[in-house]
Amino acid sequence: MIEAFDDSYFMKKALAEANLAFERDEIPVGAVVVSNQSIIARGHNLTEMLTDVTAHAEMQTITAAANYLGGKFLRDCTMYVTLEPCQMCAGALYWSQLSRLVIAAPDEHRGYRKMGAQLHPKTTVEFGILEAESASLLKEFFKKKR
């Protein structure tokens, strides 16, 4: 039986965002922020289009979610992101006090764990939801770029 609003459901929405990035020739990473079973923010990497290294999917959705909530903390929110956040995004999530972070694919090179950055102690983390789909999209992107 398929559950309507389980982790796979929301990660598919994040992957749809990553696909939009792919179509715009951006490194395909997408994210959604969920509160009370509803998506309150969605975004994808736009660093090339905006000429801005800070325009990662996570950064945009943190800002958008806080704007929606009218407060800067995401204490009762879950973020679904298709690639492990970098140290910048982990640092932003730290300040947001995000409740739960669900990650599709690990980033062995520039992921926050490898770089040494920290999430907030109150944030729970889960890896591997739709990992193969996310990794495949990234692989296809970098293959196209070579």
Q: Which residues are catalytic?
A: 58
| Residue nearer to its own copies on the CB measure, 115 or 132 | 115
Quote the strand ranges of the chain, DSSP E: 30-35, 38-44, 77-83, 100-105, 124-127
Q: Distances from the Cα of 11 to the Cαs of 23, 70, 102, in angstroms? A: 18, 25, 8
| Residue nearer to its own copies on the CB measure, 54 or 136 | 54
Q: From the CB of 112, what's the least distance to its own copies, in Å?
A: 8
| Residue nearer to its own copies on the CB measure, 11 or 30 | 30
Query: 80 has which bridge partners?
Result: 32, 102
CA dist., res. 49 & res. 90, Å (int): 22
Residue ranges in contact with its own copies by CB under 8 A: 47-48, 51-54, 59, 62-63, 66-67, 70-73, 86-92, 94-96, 115-118
Residues in binding site: 56, 86, 89
- Residue with tokens 């990473």, as numbered in its chain: 29
Q: From the CB of 9, what's the least distance to its own copies, in Å?
A: 27
| Residue nearer to its own copies on the CB measure, 38 or 51 | 51
The 3-state DSSP class for residue 55 equals coil
Residues in binding site for Zn(2+): 56, 86, 89
Q: From the CB of 123, what's the least distance to its own copies, in Å?
A: 13
Q: From the CB of 91, what's the least distance to its own copies, in Å?
A: 3
Q: What is the CA radius of gyration of the chain?
A: 14
Q: In this structure, are strands 30-35 and 77-83 parallel, antiparallel, or unpaired? A: antiparallel
